[in-house]
């Protein structure tokens, strides 16, 4: 397999982190239950293989991310075995993901990886039928007020995936709710389409035309490559659909700047999508590479944002910046060099917040001092909604809002598993928060 060195390095870094976290998770489960110690040892041995592979690439494992990633994993599958239905099998499937993506190019280490995986799987029983998802349970909006009088409100509309089951209906419901929300502008976070086809772009533009407030969209990884034709036609289709080059754009509103970055990378993923139910790749071609990057014109936008004596700014991009935890860690985020540039931009003091899509969850990726990098959940998937931001002179209030169409929510909830709910909902402080501009120190 021909993998670019950066992709291979990030894949091995991700795999080390996943196996290290699985090992720590199972060790905790072993302490709680007396079982799982063998799984902990097997995962630790697998992590060791990736540490060796990284040493050959002259790269150290990301030790500083281990604790955070283990914490994330516990949050999804439970502190104790059996706490979350199918939590144990999901933790095993993460190991299957690692194996499917790496064993083929790791030589003898790949063979050893598989042997260790076979021993782990031998102790597990995968059910023929999945248990039913939990019943519908509405998500209340946690109301928050900005630190001063509201100057204006804007909406953040996450990935839409037109062309996927429920994509169109859930997007339409979100558009209705945003029209009634008082938002003066809307920023959409990419993955407008599911397969990057011309028909899906058309669905997206005709639906978004119903928004009463001006909306700025961006290219996501699902948009750049037309899967059926295996052609990078997204830039062209996007230009026709939305009337701009997909190289980032800066808009201004009420004395604020909104930098909208097209962070999708124009490279093919060497992998087909992975099915977590079966633990194998889906038949057929893969999409674009899942990690993000900025083109040169987007670096120019960041330089503009960071210039002295310029207005405050919000930055929007499809991919969460590094250090990215979640699944798969590292590999799924904005590449390291571009994350570093974004960090420097925020350090200018002009940026009030960074908002990303791609992960379909509410989560705080990180903070830059006080400034949050926030991931926003989507209309199509649990918890089914969008975000509203109330901006004041000295800060803002962010809150995630679930869609209001209860009948539609009930229907959509039937495919939201326990695992997915724990993954995507976000803690209270990741669904609603207030940011206040720090006072300059003398």
Binding residues (CB under 5 A) for Fe ion: these are: 159, 191, 220-221, 358
Smallest distance from the beta carbon of 114 to Fe ion, in angstroms?
29
Q: How many other CB atoms are there within 10 angstroms of residue 149's CB atom?
A: 10
88 or 191: CB nearest Fe ion: 191
37 or 233: CB nearest Fe ion: 233
Q: Which residues face 391 on adjacent strands?
A: 152, 396
178 or 189: CB nearest Fe ion: 189
99 or 159: CB nearest Fe ion: 159
Plot region of 78 (φ>0 → left; ψ -120 to 50 → alpha; else → beta):
left
91 or 204: CB nearest Fe ion: 204
Smallest distance from the beta carbon of 100 to Fe ion, in angstroms?
20
Calpha distance 104→333 (Å, rounded) = 23
Q: Which two tokens stand for residue 33?
A: 């239950």
177 or 191: CB nearest Fe ion: 191
Smallest distance from the beta carbon of 154 to Fe ion, in angstroms?
21
163 or 312: CB nearest Fe ion: 163
Smallest distance from the beta carbon of 358 to Fe ion, in angstroms?
4
Query: Do 228 and 199 contact (CB within 8 A), yes or no?
Result: no
20 or 187: CB nearest Fe ion: 187
Calpha distance 384→395 (Å, rounded) = 26
Work out the burial of residue 64: count CB atoms within 10 Å of its CB; fewer than 13 is exposed, 13-18 middle, 19 or more buried.
Answer: exposed
77 or 225: CB nearest Fe ion: 225
Smallest distance from the beta carbon of 28 to Fe ion, in angstroms?
31
Smallest distance from the beta carbon of 381 to Fe ion, in angstroms?
9
Smallest distance from the beta carbon of 106 to Fe ion, in angstroms?
27
Smallest distance from the beta carbon of 256 to Fe ion, in angstroms?
26
Smallest distance from the beta carbon of 191 to Fe ion, in angstroms?
3
Query: Do 6 and 330 contact (CB within 8 A), yes or no?
Result: no
192 or 306: CB nearest Fe ion: 192
Smallest distance from the beta carbon of 360 to Fe ion, in angstroms?
6
Q: Which two tokens stand for residue 159?
A: 């990935």
Q: Which two tokens stand for residue 1?
A: 């397999």
Calpha distance 231→228 (Å, rounded) = 8
Smallest distance from the beta carbon of 38 to Fe ion, in angstroms?
36
191 or 200: CB nearest Fe ion: 191
């Amino acid at each position: 397999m021909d993998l670019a060195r950066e992709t291979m390095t990030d894949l091995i870094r991700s795999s080390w982190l996943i196996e290290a976290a699985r090992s720590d998770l199972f060790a905790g489960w072993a302490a709680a239950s007396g079982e799982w110690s063998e799984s902990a040892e097997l995962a630790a041995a697998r992590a060791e293989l990736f540490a060796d592979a990284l040493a050959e690439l002259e790269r150290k494992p990301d030790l500083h991310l281990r604790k955070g990633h283990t914490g994330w994993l516990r949050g999804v599958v439970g502190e104790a075995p059996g706490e979350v239905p199918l939590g144990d099998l999901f933790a095993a499937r993460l190991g299957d993901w690692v194996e499917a993506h790496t064993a083929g190019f790791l030589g003898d280490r790949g063979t050893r990886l598989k042997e260790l995986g076979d021993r782990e799987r031998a102790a597990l029983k995968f059910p023929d039928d999945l248990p039913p998802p939990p019943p519908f349970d509405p998500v209340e909006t946690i109301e928050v007020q900005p630190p001063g009088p509201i100057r204006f409100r804007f909406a953040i509309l996450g990935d839409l995936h037109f062309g996927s089951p429920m994509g169109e209906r859930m997007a339409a419901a979100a558009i209705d709710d945003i029209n009634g929300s008082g938002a003066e502008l809307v920023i959409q976070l990419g993955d407008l389409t599911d397969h990057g086809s011309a028909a899906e772009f058309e669905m997206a533009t005709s639906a978004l035309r119903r928004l009463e407030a001006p909306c700025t969209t961006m290219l996501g990884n699902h948009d750049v490559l037309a899967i059926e034709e295996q052609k990078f036609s997204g830039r062209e289709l996007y230009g026709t659909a939305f009337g701009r080059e997909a190289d980032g754009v800066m808009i201004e509103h009420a004395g604020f700047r909104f930098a909208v970055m097209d962070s999708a990378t124009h490279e093919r993923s060497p992998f087909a999508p992975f099915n977590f139910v079966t633990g194998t790749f889906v038949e057929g071609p893969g999409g674009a590479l899942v990690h993000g990057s900025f083109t040169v014109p987007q670096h120019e936008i960041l330089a503009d944002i960071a210039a002295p004596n310029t207005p405050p700014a919000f930055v929007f991009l499809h991919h969460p910046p590094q250090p990215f935890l979640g699944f798969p860690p590292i590999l799924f985020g904005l590449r390291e060099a571009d994350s570093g540039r974004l960090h420097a931009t925020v350090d200018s003091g002009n940026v009030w917040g960074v908002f990303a899509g791609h992960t379909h969850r509410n989560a705080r990726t990180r903070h830059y001092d006080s400034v949050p990098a926030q991931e926003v959940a989507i209309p199509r998937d649990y918890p089914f909604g969008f975000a509203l931001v109330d901006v004041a002179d000295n800060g803002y209030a962010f809150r995630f809002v679930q869609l209001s169409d209860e009948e539609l929510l009930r229907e959509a909830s039937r495919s939201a598993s326990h695992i997915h709910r724990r993954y995507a909902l976000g803690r209270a402080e990741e669904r609603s928060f207030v940011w206040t501009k720090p006072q300059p120190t003398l």
